[in-house]
Chains A and B, each alone.
Chain A
Amino acid sequence: MENSSHLLTYAQRSDFQVGRATELSGKDRRFYRFLEIIPGVASWGTLIGVLWLSNYRPFIAAYFIIGFAIYWVLKTAFLSYHLRYNWKRLRHHLSLDWVKMVDRFEFGHMYQMIILPFYEESEEIVNATLQSIADTRYDKKSIIIVLASEERAGDKAQQIASAMKEKWGDTFGTFLVTTHPQDVPGEMAGKGSNASYAAEQARIHILDPHGILYNHTLVSIFDIDTVLYPDYFNCLIWHFMTAEKPLKTSYQPVPIFNNNIWDAPAVARVVAMSSTFWEMVQQERPERMATFSSHSVSFQALYEVGYWQSNMVSEDSRIFWNLLLANDGDYRVIPLSYPVSMDANAAPTLWGTMKNVYKQHQRWTYGVENFCYIIFHFTKNKKISTGRKITIGLQQAEGYWSLVTNPIMLFILGWAPIFLGTPEFHQTVLSYNLPIMVRDLLILAMFGLVISSIISLTMLPPRPKEKSRLKYIVLAVQWILVPVTMVIFSAIPGLHSQTRLMLGKYMGFWVTPKTRI
């Protein structure tokens, strides 16, 4: 888009969609590079610091670890409280008749544009998503489907797109297939570049020719494995109509990774449900929320910032920060507390699953690149209040730091003073009491997992006939894996991502293979 007059003033800056330090020059480049280094240094510094303390100041390390274990127990209780509340709200929202809820509004002028970026996923997966959209209780003629394929995916993807258009073209108001060209200079191959291209194509070929107003179009971008619940669009419309500033708002559903939950291995199930639970917790504290994965936003808002960034990995959350900054802080996320179903990350083999889960979480945790972006632009945008900048900055910093350091400190380094401490420390009651105390506190924190286990059972799709009832027991007990999954599939990939960013070894977009076993 060479003409940038439609962009909001702040979005017209040349560095507005910066993806990494190397795209800047001079002082800005050095500052951005400094910001890229900070998260990795903070995390490594913390972990090495705990080891150093354990070795040279074991008493201080022991006090710190006891305090940290208590903090963890309280944090678990605090988050469990939010989780349980959101679970109640989510179930309530599922039980509501949203058609009746939106009956009072005049929304016939609204269009639902659904962008479905896909790569090499099977026809079965694409078809299931379109089927679920067709099954929603919403006027299909006001739904615009944009099936966004990739040129690099080859002929097979084009054949699937054509087949889908032929099958579903008449069901929806409009069905557009776009093909994102490969190797566009300045772009990173990935979901963001494909979605942006698709949105612009939809504007050119559908909205403008039909005179559809951008502020009358709600865009929902869904991963290709997303299966909608019947009232998603009614729920979305209700929240859009009741929002204080509907065009200055993104709408976030709860992604439940349970399409294939009965077939996925235990590790994949626990990791997937943990991600869901984290999003549920965030739904109850929207001031800390950014958009994640599948979400909805007005076309007007997207157009004003130039759509999703095409030069970085975590475009799903970056679009929120783009919108917040471009609107000088006057932007927010409204949690829908209404689910969309997606696939748990599963491969045909356990090892393959573990590799995929690791890579997916490495990609997700590479969202730390947003920290640099936010802080960089907070120094540039003077219209956002200092208080808000500090709050957001600290929340983001704490989030990325704790994601990496907390599990490792708790489950591994909690025992460091015992192994590394001085002989003087080893003779003390403190040295003997430390592992007992940490163990007991972690057991106490594990009660939070009981809540998780119960909630996860209520969110299961119907049991396939070939699956034994005993599997419910496995699904309940699997949560004891959490200490392991937190370290292997959260902390370590997070540290990996931060280290890469710190060293300037920038990541590319890794497409999660969608496999139905």
Chain B
Amino acid sequence: MSAATPARRGVADLPLSWATASEASRLAGVLGGGEARAAAHAAFHALPTESNLLFTGYVDLRSADTHDTALLTPSSTISELPASELPDGAAAVISISARGVAAHLGAEARAAGLTVEPLSGETPLAGAESDRMTALIAAYWGCGIQITLASGTIDAPIVIKVESPAQGEALVARIGVTLGDGASATISEEVVGPRGVQETGRGAQARALLAASSEVTLGTGATLRFASIQELPEDVVYLPVRRHSFGTNAELQIAVAQIGARLVRGRIDHQLEGNGSKVQQVEVVFAGADQLHDLTTYSLHAGEKTVGDLLAKGIFAGKARGFVKGVTTIPRSGRGTNSYLGEFGMLLSKTARSVAIPSLWIDQPDCERAAHGSSVGPIDENQIFYLRTRGLTEAEARRTIVMGYLEPVVAALPLEEEAERLREVLAAKLDASFAAQSAAASAA
């Protein structure tokens, strides 16, 4: 099964020795969905990595050394986690890792009727026919869960912990979330490295693969608050695909922080089909060293009077690259749309690179707002000066300014403890990048 890695590879190649028809059919034997897997397998091999012609110049998967990884097929049964694993203040905890899926539902979650079940093999994954990474997940997923809240409200967050596999392994997972009419819930997702495995340090290539879908379906008037903090070790290739479909007046507040991983190629789709549906998205990207974050958000305002309010803020240090892209589409049916897309970047080093491509595609003149804005700027020296006159050192001043720049995103996280933890993670990463920068400066 391990053919040699191709000697030459294009920037958009993603060599995977296990992406074969027989592997898709083997997985269908274990988890079901034979036809869909076969179609997705064909699509994965037929589609270009980037099918959107606007973005083809901005693909680079060369740091992914995933050809010889072993594709994991954890047990499909969901085992019970001990109650001690339930974080304080959480309604439920679900763990997805190389070991399989385990969960523990607290009293509130059980009383509200929350269910966590293995995902049916027949569940279609929309977008697999047109997006290559979605096709990858649809063809080769080895682990899937379905979280359902048919009605009612769960105030406390449902915590989902997703662990990347170890070096040399690949984990492909699907997470379905369905909220019925009027249901309301909060999900807090933590994407982290494998438990008990020390980070092997940063190599030239990333040798672990985590590809995961998050398929959210919101019924009429359903409300979901969703936060995801990604802190993967820097030997991981992370391919998240998020697809959100909205019923009438459904509402999603989503906050995503991308901190770790060597290479992230992520796609978010908001299908605002229900009239009056609404999405508010905040995204923070902090990349240093030789990390590459390639993130695209597609918003389709198909329903009437839908609202999209999307804000991305990126910090790029070291030799990091950030490709932050967005497409807002307002078809003829999307009367009264209110849509804003903001992409803002800050470069902390001369070798970092920030690319922003916020696109609009508008067919309906009757829109309340259809706008985007983006900016890239350095840390304002006047602000540093001001803070220094207030007694801060230059390093403290820089840190304060960057943290202030990211704070609107951090503050959007549903759990205060999470926000606090994210602040700590960001501050630590910031200090490390300042230290690396001054070391580089003194070496020069």
Check if A and B associate. Answer: no
Binding site for A on B (CB under 8 A): none
Chain A residues close to B by CB (< 8 Å): none
